[in-house]
Chain A
Amino acid sequence: MIHSSLTQLGAALRAKKISSVELTQSYLDRINQLNPQLNAFITLNPEMSLAQAREADTRFASGKVGALTGIPIAQKDIFCAKGWLTTCGSKMLHNFVSPYDAHVISQFNNAGAVNLGKTNMDEFAMGSSNETSHYGAVKNPWDTARVPGGSSGGTAAAVAARLCAAATGTDTGGSIRQPAALCGISGLKPTYGVVSRYGMIAFASSLDQAGPMGRNAEDLALMMNVMAGFDERDSTSLQRDKEDYTRDLNKPLTGLRIGLPKEFFAEGMGADVAKAVEAAIAEYKKLGAVIVDISLPNSKLSVPVYYVLAPAEASSNLSRFDGVRYGYRAPEYGDLADMYEKSRAQGFGAEVKRRIMIGTYVLSHGYYDAYYLQAQKIRRLIAQDFTEAYKQCDVIMGPTSPSTAFQLGEKGDDPVQMYLSDIYTIAVNLAGLPGMSIPCGFGANDMPVGLQIIGNYFDEARMLNVAHQFQLATDWHSRAPKL
Protein backbone atom coordinates (compact mmCIF):
# COMPACT_ATOMS: atom_id res chain seq x y z
CA MET A 1 0.00 0.00 0.00
CA ILE A 2 2.78 2.47 0.81
CA HIS A 3 4.06 2.37 -2.77
CA SER A 4 0.60 3.10 -4.21
CA SER A 5 -0.12 6.19 -6.27
CA LEU A 6 -3.01 8.57 -5.55
CA THR A 7 -4.96 6.93 -8.38
CA GLN A 8 -4.51 3.48 -6.82
CA LEU A 9 -5.30 4.71 -3.30
CA GLY A 10 -8.43 6.47 -4.52
CA ALA A 11 -9.62 3.32 -6.27
CA ALA A 12 -8.96 1.18 -3.14
CA LEU A 13 -10.89 3.65 -0.96
CA ARG A 14 -13.85 3.87 -3.33
CA ALA A 15 -13.96 0.06 -3.62
CA LYS A 16 -13.96 -0.04 0.22
CA LYS A 17 -10.88 -2.28 0.25
CA ILE A 18 -9.48 0.07 2.90
CA SER A 19 -10.96 2.90 4.95
CA SER A 20 -9.48 6.37 5.17
CA VAL A 21 -8.94 5.84 8.93
CA GLU A 22 -6.94 2.65 8.25
CA LEU A 23 -4.92 4.34 5.51
CA THR A 24 -4.22 7.43 7.61
CA GLN A 25 -3.21 5.32 10.61
CA SER A 26 -0.84 3.22 8.49
CA TYR A 27 0.94 6.36 7.26
CA LEU A 28 1.08 7.77 10.80
CA ASP A 29 2.65 4.51 11.99
CA ARG A 30 5.23 4.66 9.24
CA ILE A 31 5.99 8.30 10.07
CA ASN A 32 6.47 7.39 13.74
CA GLN A 33 8.86 4.68 12.69
CA LEU A 34 10.95 6.62 10.15
CA ASN A 35 10.62 10.32 10.91
CA PRO A 36 13.18 10.24 13.78
CA GLN A 37 15.92 9.51 11.22
CA LEU A 38 14.59 11.80 8.46
CA ASN A 39 13.08 14.78 10.33
CA ALA A 40 10.69 15.36 7.41
CA PHE A 41 7.80 16.55 9.59
CA ILE A 42 7.66 19.49 12.01
CA THR A 43 4.14 18.86 13.31
CA LEU A 44 1.88 15.83 13.49
CA ASN A 45 -1.60 15.96 14.92
CA PRO A 46 -3.03 12.42 14.72
CA GLU A 47 -6.29 13.45 16.38
CA MET A 48 -7.05 16.08 13.75
CA SER A 49 -5.87 13.85 10.89
CA LEU A 50 -7.98 10.91 12.05
CA ALA A 51 -11.02 13.14 12.59
CA GLN A 52 -10.76 14.20 8.93
CA ALA A 53 -10.33 10.54 7.94
CA ARG A 54 -13.50 9.57 9.82
CA GLU A 55 -15.36 12.37 8.08
CA ALA A 56 -14.06 11.13 4.71
CA ASP A 57 -15.27 7.61 5.52
CA THR A 58 -18.78 8.95 6.10
CA ARG A 59 -18.54 10.67 2.71
CA PHE A 60 -17.87 7.31 1.08
CA ALA A 61 -21.06 6.05 2.70
CA SER A 62 -23.02 8.96 1.24
CA GLY A 63 -21.36 8.71 -2.18
CA LYS A 64 -20.18 12.34 -2.46
CA VAL A 65 -16.54 11.65 -3.23
CA GLY A 66 -13.76 13.02 -5.43
CA ALA A 67 -10.37 11.74 -6.62
CA LEU A 68 -8.60 12.70 -3.37
CA THR A 69 -11.33 11.99 -0.81
CA GLY A 70 -9.94 10.12 2.17
CA ILE A 71 -6.32 10.30 0.97
CA PRO A 72 -3.75 11.63 3.46
CA ILE A 73 -1.75 14.52 1.96
CA ALA A 74 1.08 16.20 3.87
CA GLN A 75 1.29 19.99 3.78
CA LYS A 76 4.42 22.11 3.67
CA ASP A 77 4.58 24.10 6.91
CA ILE A 78 4.34 27.36 4.93
CA PHE A 79 0.57 26.90 4.52
CA CYS A 80 -1.62 28.25 7.34
CA ALA A 81 -3.99 25.50 8.48
CA LYS A 82 -6.65 26.29 11.06
CA GLY A 83 -5.85 24.75 14.44
CA TRP A 84 -2.43 23.54 13.25
CA LEU A 85 0.91 24.85 14.43
CA THR A 86 2.26 26.71 11.37
CA THR A 87 5.93 27.62 11.82
CA CYS A 88 7.33 28.21 8.30
CA GLY A 89 10.47 26.51 9.65
CA SER A 90 11.17 29.50 11.92
CA LYS A 91 11.55 30.15 15.62
CA MET A 92 9.66 33.36 14.85
CA LEU A 93 6.46 31.31 14.48
CA HIS A 94 7.29 28.55 16.99
CA ASN A 95 3.97 29.11 18.79
CA PHE A 96 1.73 30.20 15.90
CA VAL A 97 -1.40 28.08 15.77
CA SER A 98 -3.10 29.44 12.67
CA PRO A 99 -6.59 30.89 13.16
CA TYR A 100 -7.43 30.36 9.46
CA ASP A 101 -6.88 28.13 6.42
CA ALA A 102 -4.79 28.99 3.37
CA HIS A 103 -6.71 28.69 0.10
CA VAL A 104 -4.71 25.56 -0.81
CA ILE A 105 -5.64 23.96 2.54
CA SER A 106 -9.34 24.81 2.05
CA GLN A 107 -9.22 23.27 -1.41
CA PHE A 108 -7.83 19.98 -0.05
CA ASN A 109 -10.32 20.06 2.83
CA ASN A 110 -13.22 20.61 0.43
CA ALA A 111 -11.97 17.69 -1.67
CA GLY A 112 -12.15 15.48 1.43
CA ALA A 113 -8.39 14.91 1.66
CA VAL A 114 -6.81 14.30 5.07
CA ASN A 115 -4.10 16.67 6.36
CA LEU A 116 -1.44 14.16 7.41
CA GLY A 117 0.93 16.69 8.98
CA LYS A 118 3.14 19.71 8.34
CA THR A 119 6.44 19.10 6.57
CA ASN A 120 9.80 20.59 7.45
CA MET A 121 11.30 23.32 5.27
CA ASP A 122 14.06 25.90 5.10
CA GLU A 123 13.21 28.86 7.31
CA PHE A 124 10.71 31.07 5.45
CA ALA A 125 11.54 28.96 2.35
CA MET A 126 15.00 30.54 2.14
CA GLY A 127 17.45 27.78 1.37
CA SER A 128 18.32 24.98 -1.02
CA SER A 129 19.29 22.25 1.45
CA ASN A 130 16.76 22.38 4.30
CA GLU A 131 19.61 23.18 6.68
CA THR A 132 18.20 26.62 7.60
CA SER A 133 15.15 25.13 9.37
CA HIS A 134 14.90 26.04 13.05
CA TYR A 135 13.62 22.50 13.58
CA GLY A 136 16.75 20.79 12.29
CA ALA A 137 17.86 19.66 8.84
CA VAL A 138 15.88 17.07 6.89
CA LYS A 139 17.87 14.02 5.79
CA ASN A 140 17.74 12.61 2.26
CA PRO A 141 16.10 9.15 2.43
CA TRP A 142 18.53 7.84 -0.24
CA ASP A 143 21.51 8.69 2.00
CA THR A 144 20.88 10.27 5.38
CA ALA A 145 24.30 11.97 5.34
CA ARG A 146 23.03 14.10 2.41
CA VAL A 147 20.60 16.98 2.05
CA PRO A 148 17.13 16.53 0.53
CA GLY A 149 17.33 19.92 -1.23
CA GLY A 150 15.17 22.86 -0.33
CA SER A 151 13.18 24.63 0.55
CA SER A 152 10.43 21.97 0.22
CA GLY A 153 12.86 19.33 1.51
CA GLY A 154 10.57 17.85 4.16
CA THR A 155 7.89 17.25 1.54
CA ALA A 156 10.38 15.73 -0.91
CA ALA A 157 11.89 13.42 1.73
CA ALA A 158 8.44 12.39 3.00
CA VAL A 159 7.22 11.46 -0.50
CA ALA A 160 10.46 9.65 -1.40
CA ALA A 161 10.42 7.67 1.88
CA ARG A 162 6.76 6.76 1.36
CA LEU A 163 5.69 8.61 4.52
CA CYS A 164 2.87 9.99 2.38
CA ALA A 165 1.61 9.44 -1.16
CA ALA A 166 1.88 13.11 -2.07
CA ALA A 167 2.36 16.52 -0.48
CA THR A 168 2.47 20.21 -1.26
CA GLY A 169 5.43 22.46 -1.89
CA THR A 170 6.14 26.04 -2.84
CA ASP A 171 8.67 27.33 -5.34
CA THR A 172 10.17 30.84 -5.37
CA GLY A 173 13.49 30.02 -7.08
CA GLY A 174 13.38 26.22 -7.41
CA SER A 175 12.02 25.07 -4.04
CA ILE A 176 9.72 22.41 -5.54
CA ARG A 177 11.88 21.27 -8.45
CA GLN A 178 15.33 21.08 -6.81
CA PRO A 179 14.27 18.94 -3.79
CA ALA A 180 12.12 16.79 -6.11
CA ALA A 181 15.25 16.16 -8.20
CA LEU A 182 17.49 15.47 -5.21
CA CYS A 183 14.99 13.02 -3.65
CA GLY A 184 13.92 11.26 -6.86
CA ILE A 185 10.27 12.36 -6.98
CA SER A 186 8.08 14.42 -9.31
CA GLY A 187 7.17 18.06 -8.66
CA LEU A 188 5.40 20.84 -10.56
CA LYS A 189 5.63 24.60 -10.13
CA PRO A 190 2.61 26.01 -11.98
CA THR A 191 2.44 29.25 -13.98
CA TYR A 192 2.55 32.22 -11.61
CA GLY A 193 -1.01 33.12 -10.62
CA VAL A 194 -2.60 29.69 -11.20
CA VAL A 195 -2.62 28.64 -7.51
CA SER A 196 -3.74 31.16 -4.90
CA ARG A 197 -1.11 32.46 -2.48
CA TYR A 198 -3.74 33.31 0.16
CA GLY A 199 -2.57 31.98 3.53
CA MET A 200 0.78 30.86 2.14
CA ILE A 201 3.38 32.69 4.22
CA ALA A 202 4.99 35.17 1.83
CA PHE A 203 8.67 35.13 0.88
CA ALA A 204 8.93 36.95 -2.48
CA SER A 205 5.40 37.68 -3.60
CA SER A 206 6.08 38.22 -7.31
CA LEU A 207 7.78 34.79 -7.53
CA ASP A 208 6.14 32.51 -4.92
CA GLN A 209 3.94 29.77 -6.31
CA ALA A 210 2.53 26.63 -4.69
CA GLY A 211 2.46 23.27 -6.44
CA PRO A 212 2.13 19.52 -6.01
CA MET A 213 4.91 17.01 -5.27
CA GLY A 214 4.34 13.28 -5.59
CA ARG A 215 5.17 9.91 -6.99
CA ASN A 216 4.38 10.55 -10.65
CA ALA A 217 2.91 12.99 -13.16
CA GLU A 218 -0.56 11.47 -13.04
CA ASP A 219 -0.74 12.14 -9.29
CA LEU A 220 0.42 15.71 -9.81
CA ALA A 221 -2.40 16.22 -12.31
CA LEU A 222 -4.97 15.02 -9.77
CA MET A 223 -3.55 17.42 -7.19
CA MET A 224 -3.52 20.32 -9.64
CA ASN A 225 -7.24 19.75 -10.22
CA VAL A 226 -7.72 20.51 -6.51
CA MET A 227 -5.10 23.25 -6.02
CA ALA A 228 -5.54 25.45 -9.11
CA GLY A 229 -8.25 28.04 -9.61
CA PHE A 230 -9.16 31.67 -9.16
CA ASP A 231 -9.28 33.11 -5.64
CA GLU A 232 -10.21 36.73 -5.15
CA ARG A 233 -8.25 36.88 -1.88
CA ASP A 234 -4.96 36.77 -3.84
CA SER A 235 -4.59 39.95 -5.91
CA THR A 236 -2.35 38.14 -8.42
CA SER A 237 -4.65 35.11 -8.81
CA LEU A 238 -5.62 34.74 -12.48
CA GLN A 239 -9.24 34.57 -13.59
CA ARG A 240 -9.31 31.56 -15.88
CA ASP A 241 -11.68 28.72 -16.68
CA LYS A 242 -11.28 25.59 -14.56
CA GLU A 243 -9.05 23.00 -16.25
CA ASP A 244 -8.85 19.22 -16.06
CA TYR A 245 -5.10 18.68 -15.79
CA THR A 246 -5.45 14.95 -16.57
CA ARG A 247 -7.03 15.60 -19.97
CA ASP A 248 -3.88 15.22 -22.10
CA LEU A 249 -2.00 12.56 -20.10
CA ASN A 250 -2.43 9.84 -22.71
CA LYS A 251 -1.63 11.82 -25.85
CA PRO A 252 1.28 10.44 -27.90
CA LEU A 253 4.42 12.58 -28.10
CA THR A 254 4.92 12.20 -31.86
CA GLY A 255 6.28 15.45 -33.24
CA LEU A 256 6.77 17.09 -29.84
CA ARG A 257 9.45 19.76 -30.23
CA ILE A 258 11.86 19.75 -27.28
CA GLY A 259 14.09 22.82 -26.97
CA LEU A 260 17.52 22.28 -25.42
CA PRO A 261 19.06 25.58 -24.27
CA LYS A 262 22.78 25.54 -25.00
CA GLU A 263 23.37 27.54 -21.80
CA PHE A 264 22.01 24.63 -19.69
CA PHE A 265 24.34 22.11 -21.30
CA ALA A 266 27.52 24.13 -20.84
CA GLU A 267 30.10 23.97 -18.07
CA GLY A 268 28.71 23.78 -14.55
CA MET A 269 26.59 20.65 -14.94
CA GLY A 270 28.06 17.55 -13.32
CA ALA A 271 29.08 14.74 -15.71
CA ASP A 272 26.80 12.27 -13.93
CA VAL A 273 23.82 14.63 -14.23
CA ALA A 274 24.61 15.26 -17.91
CA LYS A 275 24.68 11.53 -18.62
CA ALA A 276 21.25 10.91 -17.06
CA VAL A 277 19.67 13.96 -18.71
CA GLU A 278 21.06 13.02 -22.13
CA ALA A 279 19.73 9.47 -21.73
CA ALA A 280 16.29 10.94 -20.95
CA ILE A 281 16.43 13.10 -24.09
CA ALA A 282 17.32 9.97 -26.09
CA GLU A 283 14.28 8.23 -24.60
CA TYR A 284 12.10 11.16 -25.72
CA LYS A 285 13.44 10.80 -29.27
CA LYS A 286 12.32 7.16 -29.15
CA LEU A 287 8.88 8.37 -28.10
CA GLY A 288 8.71 10.49 -31.26
CA ALA A 289 9.96 13.88 -30.07
CA VAL A 290 12.25 16.07 -32.14
CA ILE A 291 15.10 18.10 -30.68
CA VAL A 292 15.54 21.82 -31.34
CA ASP A 293 18.65 23.72 -30.27
CA ILE A 294 17.71 26.97 -28.59
CA SER A 295 19.42 29.74 -26.65
CA LEU A 296 18.43 31.62 -23.50
CA PRO A 297 21.23 34.22 -23.60
CA ASN A 298 20.16 36.16 -20.50
CA SER A 299 19.55 33.12 -18.29
CA LYS A 300 23.06 33.44 -16.84
CA LEU A 301 21.89 36.67 -15.19
CA SER A 302 19.05 34.97 -13.37
CA VAL A 303 20.97 34.27 -10.14
CA PRO A 304 22.12 37.89 -9.62
CA VAL A 305 18.68 39.25 -10.61
CA TYR A 306 16.96 36.83 -8.24
CA TYR A 307 19.24 37.79 -5.33
CA VAL A 308 18.14 41.39 -5.72
CA LEU A 309 14.40 40.86 -6.30
CA ALA A 310 13.70 38.02 -3.85
CA PRO A 311 15.49 39.59 -0.84
CA ALA A 312 13.94 42.99 -1.63
CA GLU A 313 10.45 41.52 -1.53
CA ALA A 314 11.35 39.37 1.49
CA SER A 315 12.61 42.36 3.49
CA SER A 316 9.25 44.01 2.94
CA ASN A 317 7.15 40.88 3.60
CA LEU A 318 9.05 39.93 6.75
CA SER A 319 8.70 43.39 8.29
CA ARG A 320 5.35 42.12 9.62
CA PHE A 321 7.18 39.97 12.18
CA ASP A 322 7.58 42.53 14.92
CA GLY A 323 6.68 40.64 18.10
CA VAL A 324 3.39 42.53 18.48
CA ARG A 325 0.50 40.61 16.88
CA TYR A 326 1.79 37.05 16.61
CA GLY A 327 4.90 34.95 16.86
CA TYR A 328 8.04 35.32 18.91
CA ARG A 329 8.69 38.22 21.30
CA ALA A 330 12.05 38.60 23.08
CA PRO A 331 11.77 37.91 26.83
CA GLU A 332 13.59 41.12 27.78
CA TYR A 333 13.62 44.53 26.09
CA GLY A 334 13.62 48.26 26.77
CA ASP A 335 11.61 50.55 24.51
CA LEU A 336 9.50 49.67 21.45
CA ALA A 337 12.41 49.82 18.95
CA ASP A 338 14.46 47.60 21.24
CA MET A 339 11.58 45.12 21.41
CA TYR A 340 11.39 44.98 17.59
CA GLU A 341 15.16 44.63 17.17
CA LYS A 342 15.61 41.94 19.81
CA SER A 343 12.52 39.94 18.84
CA ARG A 344 13.60 39.89 15.19
CA ALA A 345 17.26 39.20 16.00
CA GLN A 346 16.33 36.23 18.20
CA GLY A 347 13.38 34.99 16.14
CA PHE A 348 15.05 34.88 12.69
CA GLY A 349 17.92 32.58 11.71
CA ALA A 350 21.14 33.64 9.98
CA GLU A 351 20.07 33.11 6.35
CA VAL A 352 16.79 34.98 6.81
CA LYS A 353 18.60 37.91 8.43
CA ARG A 354 21.12 37.92 5.59
CA ARG A 355 18.38 38.17 2.99
CA ILE A 356 16.46 40.83 4.91
CA MET A 357 19.67 42.89 5.00
CA ILE A 358 20.36 42.47 1.26
CA GLY A 359 16.78 43.52 0.56
CA THR A 360 16.86 46.46 2.92
CA TYR A 361 20.06 47.69 1.29
CA VAL A 362 18.91 47.41 -2.33
CA LEU A 363 15.66 49.20 -1.53
CA SER A 364 17.32 51.97 0.50
CA HIS A 365 17.57 55.55 -0.68
CA GLY A 366 19.96 56.04 -3.58
CA TYR A 367 20.25 52.36 -4.55
CA TYR A 368 16.74 51.55 -5.79
CA ASP A 369 17.39 52.33 -9.48
CA ALA A 370 20.78 50.64 -9.59
CA TYR A 371 19.55 47.40 -8.06
CA TYR A 372 15.81 46.81 -7.89
CA LEU A 373 14.81 48.62 -11.08
CA GLN A 374 17.77 47.24 -13.05
CA ALA A 375 16.89 43.72 -11.85
CA GLN A 376 13.25 44.14 -12.92
CA LYS A 377 14.38 45.25 -16.38
CA ILE A 378 16.69 42.26 -16.80
CA ARG A 379 13.82 40.11 -15.57
CA ARG A 380 11.93 41.17 -18.69
CA LEU A 381 14.90 40.30 -20.91
CA ILE A 382 15.02 36.84 -19.31
CA ALA A 383 11.27 36.36 -19.92
CA GLN A 384 11.62 37.54 -23.55
CA ASP A 385 14.29 34.88 -24.17
CA PHE A 386 11.69 32.23 -23.32
CA THR A 387 9.03 33.87 -25.51
CA GLU A 388 11.48 33.74 -28.44
CA ALA A 389 12.38 30.11 -27.67
CA TYR A 390 8.75 28.98 -27.63
CA LYS A 391 8.39 30.13 -31.25
CA GLN A 392 10.57 27.12 -32.12
CA CYS A 393 9.67 24.49 -29.50
CA ASP A 394 6.82 23.17 -27.34
CA VAL A 395 8.72 22.42 -24.13
CA ILE A 396 12.24 23.13 -22.90
CA MET A 397 14.31 20.48 -21.14
CA GLY A 398 17.51 20.39 -19.17
CA PRO A 399 18.89 19.48 -15.77
CA THR A 400 17.00 20.57 -12.64
CA SER A 401 20.13 20.87 -10.50
CA PRO A 402 23.81 20.97 -11.47
CA SER A 403 24.63 18.11 -9.08
CA THR A 404 22.95 15.32 -7.15
CA ALA A 405 22.33 15.75 -3.40
CA PHE A 406 25.37 17.14 -1.60
CA GLN A 407 26.53 16.30 1.93
CA LEU A 408 24.94 17.94 4.95
CA GLY A 409 27.15 20.86 5.97
CA GLU A 410 29.06 20.84 2.66
CA LYS A 411 27.99 24.36 1.62
CA GLY A 412 27.28 25.66 5.09
CA ASP A 413 29.64 28.63 5.30
CA ASP A 414 29.30 29.95 1.79
CA PRO A 415 25.91 31.42 0.87
CA VAL A 416 27.04 32.15 -2.70
CA GLN A 417 27.82 28.45 -3.37
CA MET A 418 24.40 27.54 -2.04
CA TYR A 419 22.70 30.17 -4.24
CA LEU A 420 24.34 28.73 -7.36
CA SER A 421 22.67 25.36 -6.80
CA ASP A 422 19.46 26.93 -8.16
CA ILE A 423 21.09 28.12 -11.37
CA TYR A 424 18.75 26.15 -13.71
CA THR A 425 15.49 26.77 -11.88
CA ILE A 426 15.47 30.50 -11.07
CA ALA A 427 14.92 31.85 -14.60
CA VAL A 428 11.58 30.00 -14.69
CA ASN A 429 10.31 31.86 -11.61
CA LEU A 430 11.53 35.19 -12.96
CA ALA A 431 9.62 34.60 -16.20
CA GLY A 432 6.56 33.28 -14.32
CA LEU A 433 6.56 30.07 -16.37
CA PRO A 434 5.56 26.57 -15.22
CA GLY A 435 8.41 24.14 -14.49
CA MET A 436 8.64 20.50 -13.47
CA SER A 437 11.20 18.01 -12.30
CA ILE A 438 10.86 14.26 -12.82
CA PRO A 439 13.30 11.48 -11.91
CA CYS A 440 15.47 10.44 -14.88
CA GLY A 441 18.19 8.23 -13.43
CA PHE A 442 20.93 8.07 -10.84
CA GLY A 443 24.29 9.81 -10.67
CA ALA A 444 27.36 9.64 -8.46
CA ASN A 445 26.88 7.71 -5.19
CA ASP A 446 23.59 6.32 -6.56
CA MET A 447 21.76 9.55 -5.84
CA PRO A 448 18.73 10.54 -7.98
CA VAL A 449 18.93 12.94 -10.93
CA GLY A 450 16.04 15.17 -12.00
CA LEU A 451 15.03 16.17 -15.53
CA GLN A 452 13.59 19.67 -15.72
CA ILE A 453 10.67 20.29 -18.09
CA ILE A 454 9.79 23.95 -18.65
CA GLY A 455 6.51 24.77 -20.36
CA ASN A 456 5.01 27.86 -21.92
CA TYR A 457 2.49 29.88 -19.87
CA PHE A 458 -0.54 27.76 -18.82
CA ASP A 459 0.86 24.66 -20.54
CA GLU A 460 0.79 22.47 -17.40
CA ALA A 461 -1.50 19.85 -19.00
CA ARG A 462 0.98 19.35 -21.84
CA MET A 463 3.94 19.16 -19.43
CA LEU A 464 2.11 16.53 -17.38
CA ASN A 465 1.47 14.62 -20.61
CA VAL A 466 5.16 14.84 -21.53
CA ALA A 467 6.16 13.61 -18.07
CA HIS A 468 3.52 10.85 -17.95
CA GLN A 469 4.55 9.38 -21.31
CA PHE A 470 8.17 9.21 -20.09
CA GLN A 471 7.01 7.50 -16.91
CA LEU A 472 5.07 4.91 -18.92
CA ALA A 473 8.29 4.07 -20.78
CA THR A 474 10.72 4.17 -17.81
CA ASP A 475 10.63 3.16 -14.15
CA TRP A 476 12.88 5.78 -12.48
CA HIS A 477 9.85 7.32 -10.74
CA SER A 478 8.93 4.01 -9.08
CA ARG A 479 12.36 3.41 -7.49
CA ALA A 480 12.29 3.78 -3.71
CA PRO A 481 15.10 4.23 -1.19
CA LYS A 482 15.84 1.34 1.19
CA LEU A 483 14.96 2.37 4.73
Chain B
Amino acid sequence: MSLSLADVEKVARLARLAMNDQELQAAQVQLNNIFGLIAEMQAVDTKGVEPMSHSQDLAQRLREDVVTEPNQREAFQAVAPQVEQGLYLVPQVIE
Protein backbone atom coordinates (compact mmCIF):
# COMPACT_ATOMS: atom_id res chain seq x y z
CA MET B 1 0.00 0.00 0.00
CA SER B 2 1.10 3.57 -0.40
CA LEU B 3 -0.11 6.93 0.86
CA SER B 4 -1.71 9.31 -1.62
CA LEU B 5 -1.15 13.04 -1.45
CA ALA B 6 -4.68 13.37 -0.01
CA ASP B 7 -3.75 10.86 2.76
CA VAL B 8 -0.65 12.90 3.63
CA GLU B 9 -2.68 16.10 3.67
CA LYS B 10 -5.19 14.50 6.04
CA VAL B 11 -2.44 13.26 8.36
CA ALA B 12 -0.85 16.74 8.44
CA ARG B 13 -4.21 18.22 9.39
CA LEU B 14 -4.80 15.62 12.13
CA ALA B 15 -1.28 16.28 13.46
CA ARG B 16 -1.89 20.05 13.38
CA LEU B 17 1.09 20.73 11.14
CA ALA B 18 0.73 23.47 8.51
CA MET B 19 2.35 22.26 5.26
CA ASN B 20 2.51 23.75 1.78
CA ASP B 21 2.19 21.65 -1.41
CA GLN B 22 5.93 21.23 -1.79
CA GLU B 23 6.30 20.02 1.80
CA LEU B 24 3.38 17.62 1.40
CA GLN B 25 4.92 16.11 -1.73
CA ALA B 26 8.29 15.66 -0.02
CA ALA B 27 6.55 14.11 2.99
CA GLN B 28 4.65 11.71 0.72
CA VAL B 29 7.85 10.29 -0.76
CA GLN B 30 9.59 9.93 2.61
CA LEU B 31 6.58 8.46 4.42
CA ASN B 32 6.11 5.89 1.66
CA ASN B 33 9.77 4.89 1.96
CA ILE B 34 9.35 4.49 5.71
CA PHE B 35 6.15 2.47 5.31
CA GLY B 36 8.07 0.29 2.86
CA LEU B 37 10.41 -0.52 5.76
CA ILE B 38 7.50 -1.10 8.15
CA ALA B 39 5.68 -3.42 5.70
CA GLU B 40 8.04 -6.28 6.63
CA MET B 41 6.08 -6.54 9.87
CA GLN B 42 2.74 -7.31 8.27
CA ALA B 43 3.57 -10.87 7.20
CA VAL B 44 4.43 -12.05 10.73
CA ASP B 45 1.97 -14.52 12.28
CA THR B 46 0.99 -13.07 15.66
CA LYS B 47 -2.12 -15.15 16.28
CA GLY B 48 -2.59 -15.65 20.02
CA VAL B 49 0.25 -13.29 21.00
CA GLU B 50 -0.61 -10.75 23.68
CA PRO B 51 0.44 -7.18 22.84
CA MET B 52 3.26 -5.91 25.08
CA SER B 53 3.54 -2.36 26.36
CA HIS B 54 5.76 -2.83 29.44
CA SER B 55 8.44 -5.48 29.88
CA GLN B 56 7.45 -6.21 33.47
CA ASP B 57 3.71 -6.37 32.62
CA LEU B 58 2.85 -4.35 35.70
CA ALA B 59 -0.58 -3.19 36.68
CA GLN B 60 -0.94 0.57 36.99
CA ARG B 61 0.12 1.71 40.43
CA LEU B 62 -2.58 3.48 42.47
CA ARG B 63 -2.14 6.18 45.09
CA GLU B 64 -4.26 7.91 47.69
CA ASP B 65 -6.54 10.61 46.29
CA VAL B 66 -4.77 13.52 47.97
CA VAL B 67 -3.30 16.82 46.82
CA THR B 68 0.39 16.32 46.06
CA GLU B 69 1.23 19.35 43.89
CA PRO B 70 1.75 22.80 45.35
CA ASN B 71 0.27 25.77 43.48
CA GLN B 72 2.98 27.13 41.16
CA ARG B 73 0.78 29.11 38.79
CA GLU B 74 3.11 32.09 38.57
CA ALA B 75 6.18 29.99 37.87
CA PHE B 76 4.35 28.05 35.18
CA GLN B 77 2.82 31.11 33.56
CA ALA B 78 6.20 32.85 33.45
CA VAL B 79 7.14 30.56 30.54
CA ALA B 80 3.84 30.94 28.62
CA PRO B 81 3.76 32.83 25.30
CA GLN B 82 0.84 35.10 26.32
CA VAL B 83 -0.94 35.47 29.67
CA GLU B 84 -3.14 38.11 31.23
CA GLN B 85 -4.47 38.26 34.80
CA GLY B 86 -3.48 34.65 35.39
CA LEU B 87 -5.14 33.38 32.21
CA TYR B 88 -3.54 31.85 29.11
CA LEU B 89 -4.52 33.89 26.05
CA VAL B 90 -5.49 32.24 22.73
CA PRO B 91 -7.42 33.55 19.71
CA GLN B 92 -11.14 33.92 20.34
CA VAL B 93 -12.95 30.54 20.05
CA ILE B 94 -16.54 31.53 21.00
CA GLU B 95 -18.39 34.24 19.07
Contacts and interface: CB of A to CB of B under 8 A. Distances in A.
Given A323-B81, A324-B88, A307 B37 contact: yes
Contacts of A360: 11, 14-15
A379 B51 contact: yes
A374 B16 contact: no
Interface residues on B, range: 35 or more
A361 B11 contact: yes
Interface string A356-388: 111011001000001101111111110100000
A417 B30 CA distance: 12
Interface stretch (A154-162, A215-223, A298-306, A465-473): A298-306
A341 B16 contact: yes
Contacts of B6: none
B30 to A, nearest CB: 6
Interface stretch (A3-11, A115-123, A230-238, A400-408): A230-238
A208 interface: no
B90 A324 contact: yes
Given A324-B80, A357-B15, A415-B34, A206 B90 contact: no
B82 interface: yes
Contacts of A419: 34, 37
B33 A378 contact: no
A235 B36 CA distance: 35
A463 interface: no
Contacts of B40: 301, 304
Contacts of B58: 236, 238
B67 interface: no
A100 B18 CA distance: 31
Contact of B91 (A193, A335, A383): A335
A98 to B, nearest CB: 8
B44 A235 contact: no
Interface string A186-200: 000001110000000
Given A377-B51, A415-B30, A304 B82 contact: no
Interface residues of A, number: 72
Contacts of B22: none
B93 A232 contact: no
Contacts of A12: none
B85 interface: no
A229 B80 CA distance: 32
A416 B37 contact: yes
Contacts of B61: 232, 235, 239
Contacts of B81: 323-324, 326-329
Nearest to A309: B53
A431 B79 CA distance: 37
A380 B44 CA distance: 12
Nearest to B40: A304
Contact of A348 (B17, B35, B63): B17
Interface of B: 3, 7-8, 11-12, 14-19, 27, 30-31, 33-42, 44, 46, 49-56, 58, 60-61, 63, 72, 75-76, 78-82, 88, 90-93
Of all A-B residue pairs in the complex, the 3 with the closest CB atoms, nearest first, are A432-B55, A376-B51, A329-B81
Given A206-B54, A341-B17, 11 more contacts: A100-B72, A192-B55, A193-B55, A304-B39, A304-B41, A305-B41, A324-B80, A338-B18, A360-B15, A361-B3, A377-B51
25 contacts: A96-B79, A206-B53, A232-B63, A304-B37, A305-B41, A307-B38, A324-B80, A324-B81, A324-B90, A326-B76, A326-B81, A335-B93, A341-B16, A353-B27, A354-B30, A356-B17, A357-B15, A358-B35, A361-B11, A374-B41, A380-B51, A380-B52, A415-B34, A416-B36, A416-B37
